[in-house]
């Protein structure tokens, strides 16, 4: 009996043994998050109660706004927005029921306390959707949190070729955040694309005054806007100012050359081309422009040299070959002109205008058979082409004359 009792006692585990202590510790760890949550609730009870009350108050507005658009979403008549969230929910309900004017009244007459400007932003979006951009600009003035949205919408419209929409969005972006210079830059460019140089000048003059270091494009595009308005001296002045800051900027030198040509100063234009080519001798475009200028001045031999250089650098540029052919013909170099026209036809085998130019040269240079073949090709492509029809008739009459 004693042995049995001894055995039984040994099989029992005492309270102080390690195993119960480990189990108690595990249970304590599991309860720790709840203890922390309880402590947090006790320390911030007021904030949690306020959040719960706010969520409870917002609930009927949220439920109504989340109903499918086709379903009626009635709200108790006594409900009125006490915060921006509720105002936006009421506006959603009104829009779902086809009452945009009422939606705007909720958004614009709602509480002003909206730290993220969401209510004002929604009102501005609704104004824009209705084409009321002036009111949107007034409401969202100096609301920088909305500016990036308008900028993104403007870029999308600009890339889609919707100039008027792009202008409206970029205008909203710069109005919301006057320091968002990207919006100003984009707006100036789209004004130019939309053939509105007066507005472009105002934008780029502003950029020139506020940019810590104006971009080369600011000088170039302001010069372009001035030139479009016939303000050639202003254009020259701003381009020269830009070149002083960026002495190796290719586009500024080309713009100054164009400005000199527009003001009737070919010598200055040629000097700008020469200066650029001294810096960038492999600039085919500059060689071609210099050649065209020489041809305009009757300097055919210089034009041939410059245009030959352009075609050597960019042998696939059909326009350069066409200019070279014209210069060679003007300079009496029939062999070079013939070769250049042949290259033009090889590079642009379907371009009717180029074929007509080549045929005209072949006629004038005593190559009627080559001209006839080209005119016949033109008529195979355009049977009613009057130039080719008349030219072939003249060739037939000439061959019939004894």
Tell me the torsion sign for CA atoms 286, 291, 292, 297. positive
- Cβ-proximal residues to 93 (8 Å cutoff; 6+ apart), any chain: 64, 65, 73, 75
Q: Would the CATH topology of 196-261+271-276 be identical to that of 291-349?
A: yes
pLDDT tens, position by position, 139-148: 888 888 889 9
Query: CA-CA distance, 273 to 94, in Å (whole number)?
Result: 64
State residue 141's pLDDT score.
87
Would the pLDDT of 92 be above 90?
no
Domain 291-349: CATH class, spelled out: mainly alpha
Place 100 in a pLDDT band, splitting at 50, 70 and 90: low
Q: Any idea what the Cα angle at residue 367 is, between residues 366 and 370, rounded to 5°?
A: 160
Residues 361 and 329: beta-carbon distance below 8 Å: yes
- Helix, strand or coil for residue 289? helix
Q: What is the DSSP letter of 14?
A: P
The yes or no reply on domain 196-261+271-276 and CATH 1.25.40.10 is yes
Domains in the chain: boundaries: 196-261+271-276, 291-349, 358-402
Say if CB 367 and CB 342 are below 8 A apart.
Answer: no
Helices 232-245 and 250-262: crossing angle, nearest 10°? Answer: 160
**Residue 7: per-residue pLDDT:** 45
**Token reading at 348:** 């642009």
What mean pLDDT value characterizes the chain?
A: 82
The pLDDT score that the predictor gives to residue 283 is: 97
* Sequence-separated contacts (24+) of 385-390 with Cβ below 8 Å: 385/352, 387/356, 388/356, 388/359
Cut 0.75: pTM above it: no
pLDDT at position 1? 41
């Amino acid at each position: 009996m004693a042995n049995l009792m001894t055995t039984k006692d040994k099989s029992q585990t005492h309270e102080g043994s390690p195993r119960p202590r480990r189990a108690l510790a595990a249970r304590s760890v599991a309860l720790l998050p709840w203890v922390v949550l309880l402590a947090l609730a006790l320390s911030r009870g007021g904030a949690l109660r306020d959040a719960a009350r706010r969520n409870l108050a917002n609930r009927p507005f949220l439920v109504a706004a989340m109903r499918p658009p086709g379903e009626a979403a009635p709200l108790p008549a006594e409900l009125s927005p006490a915060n921006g969230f509720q105002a936006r929910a009421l506006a959603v309900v009104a829009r779902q029921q086809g009452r945009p004017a009422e939606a705007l009244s909720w958004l614009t007459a709602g509480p002003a306390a909206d730290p993220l400007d969401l209510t004002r932003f929604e009102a501005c979006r609704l104004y824009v959707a209705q084409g009321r951009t002036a009111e949107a600009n007034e409401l969202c003035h100096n609301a920088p949190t909305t500016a990036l949205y308008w900028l993104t919408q403007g870029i999308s419209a600009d890339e889609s070729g919707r100039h008027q929409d792009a202008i409206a969005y970029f205008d909203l972006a710069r109005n919301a955040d006057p320091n968002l210079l990207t919006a100003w830059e984009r707006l100036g460019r789209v004004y130019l694309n939309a053939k509105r140089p007066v507005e472009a000048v105002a934008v780029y003059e502003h950029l020139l005054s506020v940019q810590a270091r104006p971009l080369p494009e600011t000088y170039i595009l302001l010069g372009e806007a001035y030139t479009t308005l016939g303000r050639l001296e202003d254009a020259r002045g701003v381009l020269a100012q830009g070149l002083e800051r960026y002495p190796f900027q290719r586009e500024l030198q080309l713009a100054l050359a164009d400005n000199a040509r527009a003001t009737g100063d070919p010598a200055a234009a040629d000097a700008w081309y020469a200066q650029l080519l001294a810096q960038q001798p492999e600039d085919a475009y500059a060689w071609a422009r210099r050649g065209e200028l020489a041809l305009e001045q009757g300097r055919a031999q210089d034009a041939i040299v410059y245009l030959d250089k352009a075609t050597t650098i960019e042998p696939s540029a059909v326009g350069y070959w066409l200019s070279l052919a014209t210069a060679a013909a003007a300079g009496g170099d029939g062999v070079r002109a013939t070769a250049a026209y042949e290259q033009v036809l090889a590079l642009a085998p379907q371009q009717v205008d180029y074929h007509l130019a080549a045929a005209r040269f072949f006629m004038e240079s005593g190559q009627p058979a080559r001209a006839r073949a080209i005119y016949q090709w033109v008529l195979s492509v355009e049977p009613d082409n009057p130039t080719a029809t008349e030219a072939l008739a003249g060739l037939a009459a000439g061959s019939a004359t004894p």
